[in-house]
Amino acid sequence: MVITAQRQGETVRDYACRIIKENIVTMELKPGSLVSETELAKELGVSRTPVREALIQLGKNGMVETFPQRGTKVSLIDTDSVNESRFYRLVIEKALVQEICNNCNEDDLFPLNENLHKQLFCLETKNVHKIVEADNEFHKLLFVIANKNRSYDALNDIFTQFDRVRYLSAENFNMEATVSEHKALYEAMKNKENEKADKIIVEHLSRYKEDMQELKNKYPEYFK
């Protein structure tokens, strides 16, 4: 597992939940793999109680499944959940893009431009996880620029299944197309080209279907 430091003000339970979830999303903990409460507690340097509580919460969110006498496993990727997650993202981000086109100026979009430079650097260094992190940041910035931060926080758990597919895609496919689409979306919003921006975000969030079919063929054991 990849383990980062506990954040200021973060409870031990929330810390355990965040780290386990991050490792599931980034595919460090593979779909279908067994997770041991004792081993997780040891790796995180905490007692078993917050880990147990974290696994209960992650079970409610569909990230892990507990089986009597068999232990706890990382949930397989549920295609229906991925499609539902993508539906939410598409509906909401289409609205965000239109709001940004209508109400924001080039200065407001400056963080997106900075993020694009970060994405290009990650491409050059071939750092897969950093590319996806920058990708996530780009989409989060749409919420921030449109002043919809709380909406992003509320929907974060819904996006999780979709994010697992995105990390797996980044490990298997060239991300240049993703970065190019982000750049085109930025330019369309900057130039207030509403229809063009709408078309780009729809195509961008629809390309996962082809990727997911290839991933299911390559990693059938990861999917329900």
Residue-wise pLDDT tens digits, 7-30: 999 999 999 999 999 999 999 999
Predicted TM-score (pTM) of this structure: 0.88
Q: List where CATH 1.10.10.10 sits in the chain.
A: 12-74
- 79-222, CATH topology level: Four Helix Bundle (Hemerythrin (Met), subunit A) (1.20.120)
Q: List where CATH 1.20.120.530 sits in the chain.
A: 79-222
- 12-74, CATH topology level: Arc Repressor Mutant, subunit A (1.10.10)
Distance CA 62, CA 161 (A): 9
Position 158 confidence tier, pLDDT thresholds 50, 70, 90: confident
E-assigned strands of the chain?
Answer: 34-35, 64-67, 71-74
pLDDT of amino acid 174: 81
pLDDT of amino acid 161: 85
* CA 8 to chain CA centroid, nearest Å: 23
pLDDT of amino acid 47: 96
State mean pLDDT over 113-118: 96
